[in-house]
Structure 1
Amino acid sequence: MMDLLKCFEKNWRENIAPPEGVTVLAACSGGIDSLAMLDMLDRLQEVLGVRLAAAHFEHGIRGKDSLEDAEFVREFCGARGIEFYGASADVPGEAARAGESLETAARRLRYAFLRRIAGALSEKYGMGENQEKLGRVVIATAHHRDDQAETVLMHLIRGTGLRGLGGIRCRQGDLVRPLLFASKRELAEYCRQRRLEPRHDATNDEADCLRNRLRLELLPLLAREYNPALGDVLCQLADIAQADEDYLRQAAEKLWQELAAEAEQGFCFNLGRFLQLSLAMQRRLVQQAAFEVSGCQLAYVQVQAVLQLAKKGRTGTELQLPFGLLAEISYNFLYIIKKTIPFSGNHGTMDIVGEFEKISLRVPGTTCLPDGSRITAELAEDRQQLEVLLKSAAGHADSADTAAGNAGNGGCMAVYGDWDKCNQPLAVRHRKNGDRVSIGNGHKKLKDFLIDSRIPRQQRDELWLVADGGGDGNILWLPGVRRFAEAAADEGTRKFFVLRMINKG
């Protein structure tokens, strides 16, 4: 077993390297990883020239055990004279209110708390002659080598680029992760040797979310059947990807300064020079322009469509993009600008969302859509669970007979149905030619249905729909318009799905 404390110090100096006098706010749950990190930081305070504080966020999820975790960390810090900050929140209630998964809501609230405390510490210590130096605060989290492997694999499964393959970085803004060199097993052994008695969160042993399933099921399977060193391989991939991403990002930034010209409502590139660039640089410049204009990143298919538009180079052609963006070719220039007029539907315009994109629906989970709205999906094993889910769906109704709509109910923003009748997976998309919907005992063209429903023409291409069969099967729901008859629940339904649309803003 390597000397973990020496490795920690070496890694801190080489990869973290904050200025001396900085305050380190260590996020500590009381578990193996964060307790080991807090202990090492405490032992190395003087050597590293840092000031140490600790923070614990109690999520209100595990009842008595959760409260005991908070008290454990408080007492641990008190015994060592470590400055301690704690807070509690009703994460389940906040998750239901915001339409998020427990994991997403917990992470959002936890990091908001940590940054709030970091701000208070910055004000507390950033006084006097050395205000700028002493007021610096970094937040240390206990992500370790196993977390890195899980993150890279999770990004790979969900779909990612080079930045996603880089996984977790040792330092990212005000966040530092000083344990990425160590494995979970090594941290557990460190705690044993130091006679620390970390707390155990039993929810980490439940395969009820993607990360837990990866850690408990998929990674052990892949290591056992294909490569025992898979964890090391994934971490090596992250290291390579981070270095390559840094190099390519710097190259793209240089090209951006040379080629990107400001235009009304956005940016433009000389088309001839743009097409001479490597594919990697073309993609990065398109993403940079989209981000500068909208603050959002485009999906792979959307970037590819912009490149197709540029390659054809036909003046007057346009491409509708999410986030209110428009790509346009005009007299040897590629423009990426903020759209100021509604989509006209003329023959020179392509609808990128309608033509190219289908978004798989996470069930259970939350699916974020390009326009900023999101759809939450949950499953219920019986009518009683269904009632609970529907009541939490932002007050849409009080019972399964009226809440959200099983079929029909114009204007519905939440629906339920028979999960076993769905041809899985479900997907979200915009309408396309040939779409038909099930109404009563028959079918109808979606176009005719929208006309009969008096949906304005300029709004029809903006509507989202949920369909089974990966988006190519039956249309189940037009959020805000109607729940169709396909996969309707009945007395024989054994498993229900509940979908809820949450509009942007």
Structure 2
Amino acid sequence: MSGAAPEALPRRPRLHPLVGTARNHIRSALELLGAQKAEATDQDGRPAPPLLLVACSGGPDSLALAAVAAYFARPLRDGRQLWRVGAVVVDHGLQPGSADVARRAAGQADALGLDPVLVRRVEVDRPGMGPEAAARTARYEAMDRAAEETGAAAVLLGHTLDDQAEQVLLGLGRGSGTRSLAGMPARRGKYLRPFLGLRRRDTEELCAVAGLEPWHDPTNRDPKFLRSRVRTEVLPFLEDRLGPGVAEALWRTGRILRQDADYLEELAEREYQRLHTVTAAGIELDREGLAELPEAMKQRVIARAAAQLGGENPSYERLLAAEALLRRKGSAGPVQLAGKVSVYRKVRGDKFAQDERGYGNLVFRATGP
């Protein structure tokens, strides 16, 4: 008995290995949210899947992130949808045609199926800030507002291993401490960086696989910007002289130092809670308890006191000056710390309890609005 051969089922297109890797990176990043997914509802007030917003400039990194993230908005076989995925495009207005670049980025995000797609124009001019810092501040303010308006559970950023290597190298060049050398965190609040383990060339390949045409920001190669010089001159020079793998080594260093910094800051918080007192003058740190701490812990507790009053992270030199007040030699201060916070040592002219507890304590106070 003979019959026609059964018709072969169409084969599924084979998944590109890099796409699978990128999806796993996003999946791991989403696990960082844990039970803290934002509660969301639709227009009728019914429960809705939490929203992820991709920060999309239209460059290779963010466009690749948008393309891969779109996968997570697809319904499962049982019809459930675990996530919604949208995008926020920030137009800094710093270059001619920036509005067109933003519209093109938004159009590509929309074509990928992302919804909603928001475009935000910002003013970058910030007194007292350099152009890079001002642009970054304006960008994050816009993304914060977009996340708040949409109730997003997270904002995904497209920073790569190369960006992390540059960040660590910049911190090293500035003589920064452990926290700065740790680079960018995989998560900070609602912000997630899923692609910190991927190279920049990987995101370019992901765009090619998806048939996307990314925009290449000319400022990324402009030598007047420090990060651009690190990217186009310093890192290639190190790779040439030290051999390949420098970027990966810097990324690995950042990961190790982040673990150390997290642990030390946890210990510093415990010591700060033990040693500080809130007073009418500001924040007071117990001299004897502070003097007994190791140097690294002592400086972290001093920095934490300044931060509690709204100050910025003090420089190493300012921390040493504040620490020197404990030795009761020379001036009792004040020492001015960054962010309009000063610190001084209590002397005998101040008011004390009868047992003179508090003599020599460090007092931190805000010196401006």
Q: Same fold (TM over 0.5)?
A: yes
Structure 2 unaligned segments of length 5 or more: list them. Answer: 1-16, 39-48, 348-355
The aligned residue for residue 78 of structure 1 is 110
The aligned residue for residue 335 of structure 1 is 362
1:170-181 matched pairs, under 5 angstroms:
170-181=186-197
Amino acid of the residue matched to residue 223 of structure 1? E
Looking at structure 2, the residues matched to 298 and 42 of structure 1 have their Cα atoms a distance apart, in angstroms, of 41
1:57-206 matched pairs, under 5 angstroms:
57-64=90-97, 66-82=98-114, 83-89=116-122, 91=124, 94=125, 98=127, 100-122=129-151, 136-206=152-222
The aligned residue for residue 278 of structure 1 is 294
Looking at structure 2, the residues matched to 189 and 339 of structure 1 have their Cα atoms a distance apart, in angstroms, of 51
Structure 1 position 15, deviation (Å): 4.2
Over 3 Å counting, the alpha-carbon distance change for 1:214 and 1:194 in structure 2 is same
Contact 2:37 2:153 in 1 (8 A): no
The aligned residue for residue 37 of structure 2 is 19
Higher RCO, Cα 8 Å, sep 6+: 2
The aligned residue for residue 268 of structure 2 is 252
Contact 2:61 2:159 in 1 (8 A): yes
Amino acid of the residue matched to residue 321 of structure 1? Q
Looking at structure 2, the residues matched to 243 and 187 of structure 1 have their Cα atoms a distance apart, in angstroms, of 27
The aligned residue for residue 435 of structure 1 is none
Over 3 Å counting, the alpha-carbon distance change for 1:147 and 1:175 in structure 2 is same
Over 3 Å counting, the alpha-carbon distance change for 1:62 and 1:270 in structure 2 is closer
Over 3 Å counting, the alpha-carbon distance change for 1:273 and 1:57 in structure 2 is closer
Structure 1 position 106, deviation (Å): 2.1
Structure 1 position 199, deviation (Å): 1.9
Looking at structure 2, the residues matched to 261 and 59 of structure 1 have their Cα atoms a distance apart, in angstroms, of 43
Structure 1 unaligned segments of length 5 or more: list them. Answer: 123-135, 341-370, 372-504
The aligned residue for residue 51 of structure 1 is 84
Structure number with the higher strand fraction is: 1
Looking at structure 1, the residues matched to 33 and 237 of structure 2 have their Cα atoms a distance apart, in angstroms, of 33
Structure 1 position 101, deviation (Å): 3.3
The aligned residue for residue 360 of structure 1 is none
Looking at structure 2, the residues matched to 317 and 72 of structure 1 have their Cα atoms a distance apart, in angstroms, of 59
Picking from 46, 60, 63, the partner of 1:32 is: 60
1:317 aligns with 2:332: yes
Question: Which stretch of the first structure deviates more once superposed, 41-50 or 12-21?
Answer: 12-21
Structure 1 position 13, deviation (Å): 4.1
The aligned residue for residue 224 of structure 2 is 208
Contact 1:143 1:179 in 2 (8 A): yes
Looking at structure 2, the residues matched to 269 and 70 of structure 1 have their Cα atoms a distance apart, in angstroms, of 50
Structure 1 position 273, deviation (Å): 2.5
SS of 2:215 mapped into structure 1 = coil
Structure 1 position 16, deviation (Å): 5.1
SS of 1:318 mapped into structure 2 = coil
Over 3 Å counting, the alpha-carbon distance change for 1:209 and 1:339 in structure 2 is closer
1:268-307 matched pairs, under 5 angstroms:
268-307=284-323
Structure 1 position 297, deviation (Å): 2.7
The aligned residue for residue 8 of structure 1 is 25
Structure 1 position 248, deviation (Å): 0.8
The aligned residue for residue 238 of structure 2 is 222
Structure 1 position 14, deviation (Å): 4.4
Contact 1:60 1:88 in 2 (8 A): yes
Structure 1 position 89, deviation (Å): 4.2
Contact 2:346 2:363 in 1 (8 A): no
Looking at structure 1, the residues matched to 238 and 32 of structure 2 have their Cα atoms a distance apart, in angstroms, of 30
Amino acid of the residue matched to residue 222 of structure 2? E
Over 3 Å counting, the alpha-carbon distance change for 1:309 and 1:214 in structure 2 is same
Structure 1 position 151, deviation (Å): 0.7
Question: Which stretch of the first structure deviates more once superposed, 68-77 or 275-284?
Answer: 68-77
CA RMSD in angstroms, aligned pairs only:
2.6
Contact 2:26 2:195 in 1 (8 A): no
Looking at structure 1, the residues matched to 132 and 329 of structure 2 have their Cα atoms a distance apart, in angstroms, of 45
Over 3 Å counting, the alpha-carbon distance change for 1:336 and 1:31 in structure 2 is same
Q: Give the % identical residues.
A: 28
Q: TM-score, normalised by structure 1?
A: 0.59
Contact 2:328 2:360 in 1 (8 A): no
SS of 1:63 mapped into structure 2 = coil
Structure 1 position 338, deviation (Å): 2.1
Looking at structure 1, the residues matched to 113 and 200 of structure 2 have their Cα atoms a distance apart, in angstroms, of 27
Structure 1 position 224, deviation (Å): 0.9
